[in-house]
Structure 1
Amino acid sequence: MVDRSPAPGRPRPPLSGGSLALRLGGIAVIVAAIAGAFAYVNGTLDPQRLKPADLVNVLEKNNGVHPGFRRNHSKGVCVAGYFESSAEARGLSSAQVFNEARTPVVGRFALPGGNPYAADSSVPIRSMALRFTQANGQQWRTGMNSMPVFPVGTPEAFYQLQKAQSPDPATGKPDPKAVPAFFGAHPEAAPFLAWVKTAKPSASYATETYNSVNAFYLVNSVGQRQAVRWSMAPVAQDVAGAVAPADTDFLEKDLVQRLTTGPLRWQLNITLADPSDPVNDASKPWPEGRKVINAGTLVLQSSQAQNDGACRDINYDPLVLPSGIEGSDDPLLAARSAGYAASYLRRTSEVNQLPAAKKESVQ
């Protein structure tokens, strides 16, 4: 989650394109939009299981090391505004964010992957991360993405997907058979692959719907729990036939331009699970027709470059939750939390060691 522009004098790496096979070959970068680095919390369990460093290391191997930049979502832009609650979630959650009129928000739009110089059209995913700061001091942090489901349901499977994308030391390139073989062995990825086949890069952050993908629980004042997933649905819409421009860095420019004409808005839609719906597997979609409530409106008023914006030093850990919202037992949630922490420590220590002249270009 860092600066969108390359450091002076640094060339942009060449970009690959187009066929489904190539897109599947690069899927580890795409799906990193939500996964980040996975591991078990604190990395203190069975030594044969993943640790935070394992996934951070493989992401670095696949994306390159860019000191001072986030290991995932490296290219982005800060935003700020507020959330206006409706009455619809108040019976489901005691969280202040749903029970007060307004809650301030600091957020970040970003691309997936660890390359801070990637072209905005290189992947069809966009991400939105938000920090809601309640008047009582508690925070709600959430990271959402424009894909509807995650390709696999466990940290171990994601790690194996990353390894399938890793370059072979002998050739410097990934084995072209490795990723298709991985998906052949993981039928749970079918819903995600069906989406990938038709997904196209959008022309704007402002016209995307962003999904939590993972499940959470809303808890009301008497302790009743309701499993949910949420999404931010845009008020703005793409012009019919709009396609992503060829410009490498169009997303931030578009966002800044739109904000000059007024705030941007999204509706927070919360989908309520039935008892039979899976809450521990982000690769499984819930059936159509589940009840959806409008919990309120996100209003974004301004943007800042990420190198010195308010989002720069925020770790958008999805398990930073206020009273009234709880994480599910989806193993990816605990893994994301641990991995984000490991990545945060690496990049902040690198920034501290950089010469002063270079610090302005990172974070």
Structure 2
Amino acid sequence: MLKLVRSLFLPLILFSFTHAREVYDAQKIADLFYQLNGDAKNPHKKINHTKGFCASGVFVPNEDSRLDIPLLEQKSIPTEVRYSLGGGNPHASDKSKSRGMALRIGKDSDWVIVMTNAAINFARTPEEFGKFLEMQIPKNGHVDQAKIKKVTEGVESFRNFAHYMASMGVSKSVANTRYYSTHTFYFKDKNTQRFLPARFSFVPVAGVHNLTHAELKRVGNDFLEKDFKEKVAQAPIVYNMVLELANKNDPTNDTTKLWYGKHEEITIGQLKVETYKGHGCNGEVFMPSMLPSGVEPPKDPLFNLRNEVYSITFSKRQ
């Protein structure tokens, strides 16, 4: 009888070991990005947020901030800026809904911030991140849209993100785009010395304005950079950096969830983007793990993964 049990269950045990759940570590995610957006003829190609341009300006902290961040004791901090589109196509249309803004605040990149115009992420875990990329990789030159639809409907994170993006318009300008941290960071309070969980966004002083359907038909595929140069030649493009402090039951370790209801807000200061700088920064890396004293990193499962993937892909561009 014992021999029979062994003969029945040993193959199942061996099967479970040989078919263990796939690990989606940073190297695996980087490989998937290259399968999706890479170019065999150009192995040094940037594989996400490929299309973009560079700018510079200053970050002006608010003097009465309740936060204990020594960097913000300066009156004006030099800042490098990169605007981008999501995806790996260097010739992507600016009518894309997916936008990015990356910052290096301080002469020594004291605070590096990487944001998108979406308040939430498409994946909660490394496994979801990997599966999201996998379902979009072409097979025999064909992207299986039916499979993407089916998988998206079956995964809450994918489904919520698809609904969120469907409701988003296409903004007229980077000057009319709001950019979000997505992750929850922790900010040191001067009075209590506690670290307060908060998400933040860069809110355009000119307001968020989207293109109408008629305007979308009229504009070309490369209007953002031209519009930026025209605007910045007249006056700086200005954003308020606004912290939204977490309430007791807000999910601080899940980037796929929105926070609802009223939240206490703190405006840290203003970013003033003053000068167009061409494309020199496009090949550089902006590492969001570079944080100033008084700011601690997110605790969700994707933040460290993002930094590791950035390191891997940056090294391949050299």
Q: In which range does the TM-score fall when normalised by the shorter chain?
A: 0.7 to 0.9
1:236 alignment partner AA: A
1:192, distance to aligned residue in structure 2 (A): 2.1
Q: Which of 72-81 and 285-294 deviates more?
A: 285-294
| Change beyond 3 A, Cα 1:207–1:144 | same
Match of 1:216 among 174, 179, 185: 185
| Change beyond 3 A, Cα 1:168–1:112 | same
Which residue of 1 is the match for residue 206 of structure 2?
Answer: 236
Question: Bigger radius of gyration, 1 or 2?
Answer: 2
Identity among equivalent positions (%) equals 27
- Structure 1 stretches lacking a partner, 5+ long: 1-45, 349-363
Which residue of 2 is the match for residue 298 of structure 1?
Answer: 271
1:47, distance to aligned residue in structure 2 (A): 10
Q: SS state of the match for residue 200, structure 1?
A: coil
> Partners in 2 of 1:75 and 1:313 — Cα distance?
10
Match of 1:340 among 303, 310, 315: 310
2:293 paired with 1:323:
yes
2:182 paired with 1:225:
no
- Structure 2 stretches lacking a partner, 5+ long: 1-19
Q: SS state of the match for residue 280, structure 1?
A: coil
Which residue of 2 is the match for residue 163 of structure 1?
Answer: 134
Q: SS state of the match for residue 234, structure 2?
A: coil
> Partners in 2 of 1:70 and 1:343 — Cα distance?
8
Which residue of 1 is the match for residue 3 of structure 2?
Answer: none
Which residue of 2 is the match for residue 82 of structure 1?
Answer: 58
1:138, distance to aligned residue in structure 2 (A): 6.3
| Change beyond 3 A, Cα 1:188–1:146 | same
- Give the TM-score normalised by the residue count of structure 1: 0.75
1:52 alignment partner AA: A
Q: SS state of the match for residue 165, structure 1?
A: coil
1:214, distance to aligned residue in structure 2 (A): 0.7
Q: How does 1:1-363 map to 2 (within 5 A)?
A: 48-65=22-39, 66-88=42-64, 90-92=65-67, 94-121=68-95, 123-133=96-106, 137=108, 139-169=110-140, 172-220=141-189, 223-237=193-207, 238=209, 241=212, 243-244=215-216, 245-306=218-279, 308=280, 311-312=281-282, 314-348=284-318
CA deviations on 1:175-228 (whole Å, 9 max, x unpaired) are 122212222221234442222222232221111000001111002456411001
Retained in 1: the 8 A contact 2:175–2:237?
A: yes
> Partners in 2 of 1:218 and 1:74 — Cα distance?
31
Retained in 2: the 8 A contact 1:70–1:343?
A: yes
1:313, distance to aligned residue in structure 2 (A): 5.4
Q: SS state of the match for residue 196, structure 2?
A: strand
- How many residues align? The count is 293
> Partners in 2 of 1:163 and 1:269 — Cα distance?
35
Retained in 2: the 8 A contact 1:149–1:191?
A: no
CA deviations on 1:127-148 (whole Å, 9 max, x unpaired) are 11001116xx561111111112
1:149, distance to aligned residue in structure 2 (A): 0.8
Retained in 2: the 8 A contact 1:56–1:339?
A: yes
- Give the TM-score normalised by the residue count of structure 2: 0.85
Q: SS state of the match for residue 266, structure 1?
A: strand
